[in-house]
Each structure stands twice: as structure tokens, then as C-alpha cells.
Structure 1
Amino acid sequence: MARRKSKILTEVEAEIMQILWKKGQASVQEICNELASKQAYTTVATMLRVLESKKYVSHVVDGRTYIYSPLREKEKEQNNVLKYITQRFFEGSVKSLLVHLVQGDNLSKEQLQELRDIINSKEEEK
């Protein structure tokens, strides 16, 4: 049975996309040099072909080098991932997701204040 395509990026795909979003465009070698996970050149080239087939990136040829560029905006992909997580793990409730994040031990006092400020400014818009 064929593996089902993920609705969100895999860990390595996301790492590659982060590099492309930051740089705007890059060759396979440039991406290899930036990857924290230190993947082989052939692995990165394969991942880029997969990302191209999924319509996340496109390439142009410069001599013998493929130069890849992102086709999707980072913010839209962040929203897609959040929607996926919210649906899959929080029964579609954004409130439950936010409560989980705020009640965790991961936020400093400063970060909590920033969130309060964001919520207050959002309320003022309405």
C-alpha cells in the first residue's frame, strides 16, 4: 500500500523551506551547507524534487546548477499547520489550543504580557 501524503511538511521539508524562505532562493549545495540536520547532497536533491512535485518550490537552471525558490508564503503555511494541529489534536477549538499553550510552562512573564497586549489590541479593533 502506498504511503499517504502528509498534509503538512515533514521535519526535513520544513527545514529546507525555512532556508528558502530566509534566502529567497538557493542551490542544493547552499541548502546542504545551511541544514542543521546535515543531510547528504543526494537526499536534499531528492527532497527538493518532492517539494517541487508538491508545488512548494520551483527551480531555474543556471548552467548545471538548479536554483530553487519557494512558491508558497511562509505565513500561509504556518496557518495551514496551525489549522491541521487544531483540527487533529484540539477538536477544531482554537481556544483549547491557546489554553494549552498558555497553561504550559514554556512562556515567560514577558511573553505572557506580549500575548495580553496582542489580545487587547485585537479587542480594540472590534
Structure 2
Amino acid sequence: MKPTESELEILQVLWAKGPSTVRQVNEHLSQTKDVGYTTTLKLMQIMHDKGLLSRTEEGRYHVYQARVDEKETQQHLLDRFVDTAFRGSAMKLVMQALGNSKATPQELADLQRLIDEMNPNSNH
């Protein structure tokens, strides 16, 4: 299931902070954007209905937790992005990213290390 941008923001809070109430999620989101409590509540209820979140009652509060794995979700979103924006070519994505920004020597060294790990026949 592909989360919307707003749902992804909520998932990121829950992945980082762990199980949280709507108020806790909303307080975190409102540090960087103008979002009302009722909007966050409604989104989290929809996400629960979709199976993206689980919910338990603790006293008067509902505590929500992500039911989808962060890495799996990132991989799914990345795969879809590469397919739609770069016609399935991860190389085009990497070349675009490197061409549009100045990679530091350390970032290039890290990239070379990753390539070496992926290619056991590399001479580096």
C-alpha cells in the first residue's frame, strides 16, 4: 500500500518516536507545518482503517503504532519513483542526483565503497 504524503509524515513520526497518541504526533508535526489536531486525528483514523496503523486503548487515550516497516515502505516508494520518473533505471536516478548537486569527496568515497561491496570483481 502506498501511503500519501501526509500519511508518510505521520509514519515517519511513529517510526522515530514509537507508539504515540494523536496529540503527540500532532505536536511533532506542528513544529514544522500548520496542521490541526482534528486533521491529524482524521488521518490517523483513516490510516488505521487502511491497516497502516494499529491502535490500542490506554485509559482515555488511543495509542497508535506503525504496522508497516520503514525500510520496506521506503523501498516500495523508491521502486515506484524509479519506475515512474526514471523509466525503471536506477542509474538514471543516481546520475541525475549526482549531476544536480556537488557530491563531497567523502560522499563519493562512500559511493565507491558501496559499489565495491555490490561488485566483488571490483579492483578498488
Return the TM-score normalized by structure 2.
Answer: 0.87
Distance 2:15 2:63 in 1: 13
Q: CA deviation at 1:52?
A: 1.4
Instruction: Find the partner of 1:68 among 64, 69, 73.
Output: 64
Cα RMSD for the two superposed structures? 1.8
Determine helix, strand or coil for the equivalent of 1:92.
Answer: coil
Q: CA deviation at 1:104?
A: 1.9
Give the AA of the match of 2:22.
Answer: V
Q: Which residues of 2 match residues 85-100 of structure 1 at below 5 A?
A: 85-100=81-96
Q: How far does the alpha carbon of each residue in 1:64-83 deviate from its partner, in whole angstroms, 9 at most, with x for none?
A: 21100000110000001111
Instruction: Find the partner of 2:76 among 80, 98, 102.
Output: 80
1:33 matched to which residue of 2? 27
31-40 or 72-81, which deviates more: 31-40
2:97 matched to which residue of 1? 101
Q: Percent identity?
A: 24
Distance 1:104 1:98 in 2: 10
Matched, 1:42 2:38: yes
2:108 matched to which residue of 1? 112
Corresponding pairs, count: 120
Give the AA of the match of 2:66.
Answer: P
Q: How far does the alpha carbon of each residue in 1:43-80 deviate from its partner, in whole angstroms, 9 at most, with x for none?
A: 00011012112211110011221100000110000001
Return the TM-score normalized by structure 1.
Answer: 0.86
Provide structure 1 residue ranges, at least 5 long, that are not aligned to the other structure.
1-6
Distance 2:96 2:13 in 1: 29
Determine helix, strand or coil for the equivalent of 1:124.
Answer: coil
Give the AA of the match of 2:64.
Answer: Y
For the 8 Å contact 1:60–1:67, the answer to whether it is kept is yes
Provide structure 2 residue ranges, at least 5 long, that are not aligned to the other structure.
none
